[in-house]
A = this chain, B = another copy of it.
Amino acid sequence: MSAALIGVDWGTSNLRVMRIAQGGAVLDSRSDPRGAGGLTPDRFRDVLNDVAGGWLDESLPVLVSGMAGARGRWREMAYAPCPAGVDELARAVARPDDAAFVALVPGVAAYRDGRLNDVMRGEETQVVGLDAPADAVVVAPGTHSKWIRTAAGRIVDFRTFMTGELFAAVRQATILGADMGEPGADDAAFADGVRRGLADPAITATLFSVRIEGLAGRLSAAASADYLSGLLIGAEVAAQADASHRPVILIGAEALSRRYAAALALGGFDDVAIADGAAATARGLWRIHKACS
């Protein structure tokens, strides 16, 4: 099957280039560690040529979402204000330089009382690639988790939680990380942490419970990373409890999405689905491309 679009998901620390068919299906995909976070503006074209290799062809459009459009990267793209759907994103697509066949998707910004309140780059493309029910919440867990409220396929508001990055910082730079194992080993410790995080949103205080549970012999060093992960994810779910009646669609790495699904169930969310994030990105790029044409 021949490609109709080259789609690029350029994250901070990773790059994925896809051959995309009419309709948005992924035909082939290549990954590379040259994320946008480490590239100066003049390097993007060379890296893309290198990774996409023989896929590039002047007759085939290339559409890029993610951090290539961040300040100091390929070209700083504006943020489309909420509410934003395929049409609003397509209207703001722009070329990074004089390459006639490459274009970047804008980010999206949320405002509160007229003030900038949050931003995203990349997740907007995934959201418009989903076939989400009306009034859903799309949750993109990770370093910076996003909770994205949608209505009729458009992003109406969202909030970022630095859960993954805080988890890493606590492990790396506090006394709690000293003897800590890897997460993923102990589902019961994870659930204990989630329940604690749901019940008490004061993270600076509940963090100390990692130490207390260890001291009391109720938490092993091997299980403490799961408990800590649960604490932070539980507090995140608690902060979004007002969305518990909405359908939730998780679009993260599979293991992480499954952990979030478990935390959401403990938090009273009963309509939770896990979607394929890479497929959503490709379909979103295709839909934005079509709306540009």
Contacts and interface: CB of A to CB of B under 8 A. Distances in A.
Interface stretch (A47-55, A85-93, A156-164, A269-277): A156-164
A202 to B, nearest CB: 4
Interface in A146-196: 159-163, 165-166, 168-170, 172-175
Interface string A190-220: 0000000000011111011000100110100
A162 B204 contact: yes
Contacts of A201: 201-202
Contact of A169 (B117, B170, B203): B170
B175 A172 contact: no
Nearest to A159: B205
A169 B173 contact: yes
Contact of A144 (B118, B203, B208): B208
A160 B119 contact: no
A236 B208 CA distance: 13
Work out how many copies of this chain go into the complex: 2
A174 B169 contact: yes
A160 B212 CA distance: 10
B204 A203 contact: yes
Given A173-B172, A203-B203, A216 B115 contact: yes
Interface in A259-274: none
A230 B165 CA distance: 20
A161 B116 contact: no
A172 to B, nearest CB: 5
A291 interface: no
B175 A207 contact: no
Contacts of A292: none
A68 interface: no
Nearest to A217: B116
A241 to B, nearest CB: 11
10 contacts: A115-B216, A119-B212, A162-B208, A168-B173, A169-B174, A172-B172, A202-B235, A202-B238, A204-B235, A205-B239
